[in-house]
Amino acid sequence: MNIPTYREEPFEWYKKMRNKNPIYKEGNVIYLFKNKDIVNVLSDYKTYSSQFRDLLGLETAQKLNKMVSPSILISDPPAHTDLRDLVSNAFSPNAIMPYEDKIREITVSLINNIKNKRSFDLVSSLSSPLPINVIADILGIPIKDKDLFKKWSDRLATSLGRGPDINTQMEMSRYFYRMVDNDDGNNLIKRLTEVAVDGKKLTKPEIASFAILLLVAGNETTTNLLTNTLLILSKRPEIYDRMKNDNKFINSVVEEALRFASPVQSTRRYAKNSTDINGVDVNKNNFIQLYLGSANRDEDLYEEPEEFNPDRKNKRHIAFGNGIHFCLGAPLARLESRIFLEEFSGNIDKFNAIEPAPDDKIDNDIMYGYNKLIITI
């Protein structure tokens, strides 16, 4: 099967596969394109595992586990349940609301730097520094280290779907170990050292693991969401004008952008035991490739799914996943996106995006977004 990279547009391919090969098996991989099949797999952790570290060689797994525990993203219950219980309170909608003023402050500062320019790169000027600054502030990362964290984040994002970047994870874990030992500030790292559920507390490797996950998941995905949204709005000025005059409409724009151009286009599981999906045999340890971006354009759920329509009645999507691994950072990503669009539309009357070249796309097997997007105002 000729699988397009995300430097190409995958959506026509998704549509073709949904219609002709919604479940496609090649070698030891089963590819899924329909929403219902994907949701069923994501909801069944007993059959389809996320614990990919179990498939690494023993020596590699032990080396990683010593410094960085498997994150909640690559854990199954009961380990996943214990970890999620310990960290989930930090990212509930109520818990992230106190960050609203800080997020707005960062956003306004970044927009002030560009609003008098005739053109600028959205990614380097706004959509990348906003989430990296927010995450760094939440974790308690000093300003002097933010460039280092951006470098680490970019490295780990590039490695997604291609095997663990052990050296970068080790560098980051050592950094967070020092924070655990020395930090007495009011930040998430400090709170994670203190949180307890039924007498259980997080270990250093677990804190490092969560901080690394938060940095990558909370940075790269939000960067892509902001960039993708502005590119879409540049082609739909009537929606941008409406959004400028009605801030309540912004939430609908964000949800439709998540559906239409999901920052995370695919994810994976592997089968714990032999089974089948709608009659297609699945052998033990087969990989299941789940195309979230295809599920979010499934004709069975959406009218005119290839159209960007914030007014659509069915606003459900699985851009943040489904089941026990539903993204913990979803409330934060939504909050950042809403504030960004409020402030951008409040300060920028009109804008255009120069159509990016294929080489401007992120070279990644999972993420969908751009390394560069030139905006003129």
pLDDT of amino acid 168: 83
Whether the predicted pLDDT of 161 surpasses 60: no
Map out the domains of the chain as residue ranges: 56-263+318-376
pLDDT in tens, 164-179: 677 888 888 888 888 8
pLDDT of amino acid 83: 80
Q: Give, in words, the CATH class of 56-263+318-376.
A: mainly alpha
Higher pLDDT, 56 or 355: 355
347 pLDDT band (50/70/90 cuts)? very high
Spatial neighbors of 339 by CB under 8 A, at least 6 apart, are 100, 103, 104, 107
pLDDT of amino acid 163: 60
pLDDT of amino acid 183: 66
pLDDT of amino acid 164: 62
What DSSP string describes 56-115?
Answer: S-HHHHHHHHHHSPPPGGG--TTHHHHHHHHHGGGGSHHHHGGGHHHHHHHHHHHHHTTT
pLDDT in tens, 177-212: 888 887 667 788 888 888 776 677 788 888 888 888
pLDDT of amino acid 1: 77
pLDDT in tens, 244-266: 999 999 999 999 999 999 999 99
Among 153, 103, 114, CA closest to 337: 103
pLDDT in tens, 120-141: 999 999 999 999 899 888 888 8
313 pLDDT band (50/70/90 cuts)? very high
pLDDT in tens, 15-45: 999 999 999 999 999 999 999 999 999 999 9
CA atoms within 13 A on the CB side of 156: 26
pLDDT in tens, 44-97: 999 999 988 777 766 666 666 666 777 788 888 888 887 888 777 777 778 788
